[in-house]
């Protein structure tokens, strides 16, 4: 069975500082990996995804993530955080070959200090 | 372009009352459709998914049911709500091409349900 672990429930960083959100996964084959962002009271928006090829993936809003098969990780990074990045971030792995459903982590809440 | 709608945006219902949440997708055909629940401070829990009209798979036993009467319409229902049904309900769709690597999910704005 596939699973996703986001070890950090809550992270606080200062505006302008760098950010790394951790994601570890368990999957029986080459995974499809996703990062989504959710602003308060809103739906989820895709930041980036990895299916194959280059293990460093660029996404929207200046985010990137690196797939490391040996560590079963797909950590999200941003070199300089903006106050508008405060949100909840979800890592997901999938899909199930029959239905395309992904498994989501429990999320990491990012607070940005001025 | 594709869009996904959910309504209502917020709902307050008494315990024991029925529920119907609706989700519709525009601009695509034969999508995979999903219902998630997000409890306060928790991650997403997949409740149901559908790969076609009338085809519903349930992920967890619960007080809720889902139906897909039309290709791009997905309905979440309950006959009698429980307090534990409170949460943020998200509908999502993905292209119905499993295994092709196109299973990014696109989420609706969500429905905030409070059961009192």
pLDDT in tens, B81-98: 999 999 999 999 988 665
Does B32 contact A52 at a Cβ distance shorter than 8 Å? no
Q: Which residue has the tokens 């949460």?
A: B87
Does the pLDDT value for residue B41 go beyond 70? no
Rg (Cα) of chain A, in Å, rounded? Answer: 14
- Mean pLDDT over A71-88 rounds to 96
Residue B108 pLDDT > 50, yes or no?
Answer: yes
DSSP A31: P
A56-58 and A44-50: which strand pairing? unpaired
pLDDT of residue B98: 53
Residues of B in contact with A94 (CB under 8 A): 103
On the 0-12 / 13-18 / 19+ scale of CB atoms within 10 A, B36 is buried
Confidence of residue B101 (pLDDT cuts 50, 70, 90): very low
| DSSP character at residue A62 | G
Q: B10-13 and B111-115 as β-strands: parallel, antiparallel, unpaired?
A: parallel
- In this predicted structure, what is the pLDDT of residue A28? 73
Q: Which of B4, B7, B10, B44 is best to mutate for the A interface (most A CBs within 10 A)? A: B44
Q: Is the pLDDT of residue A100 over 60?
A: no
């Amino acid at each position: 069975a596939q699973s996703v672990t986001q070890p950090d429930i809550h992270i606080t960083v200062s505006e302008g500082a760098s950010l790394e959100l951790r994601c570890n996964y368990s999957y029986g084959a080459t995974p499809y990996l996703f990062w989504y962002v959710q602003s308060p009271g809103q739906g989820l928006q895709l930041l980036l995804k990895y299916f194959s090829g280059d293990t460093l993936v660029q996404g929207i809003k200046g985010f990137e993530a690196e797939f490391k098969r040996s560590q079963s990780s797909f950590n999200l990074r941003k070199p300089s955080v903006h106050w508008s990045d405060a949100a909840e971030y979800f890592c997901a792995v999938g899909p199930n070959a029959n239905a395309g459903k992904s498994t989501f982590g429990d999320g990491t809440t990012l607070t940005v200090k001025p | 372009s594709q869009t996904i709608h959910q309504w209502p945006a917020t709902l307050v219902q008494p315990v024991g009352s029925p529920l119907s949440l609706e989700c519709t997708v525009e601009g695509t055909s034969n999508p995979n459709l999903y219902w998630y629940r997000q409890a306060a401070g928790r991650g997403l829990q997949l409740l149901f998914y559908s790969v076609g009209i009338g085809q519903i798979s349930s992920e967890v036993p619960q007080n809720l049911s889902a139906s897909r009467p039309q290709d791009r319409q997905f309905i979440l229902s309950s006959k009698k709500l429980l307090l534990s049904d409170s949460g943020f309900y998200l509908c999502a769709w993905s292209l119905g091409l499993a295994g092709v690597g196109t299973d990014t999910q696109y989420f609706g704005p969500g429905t905030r349900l409070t059961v009192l």
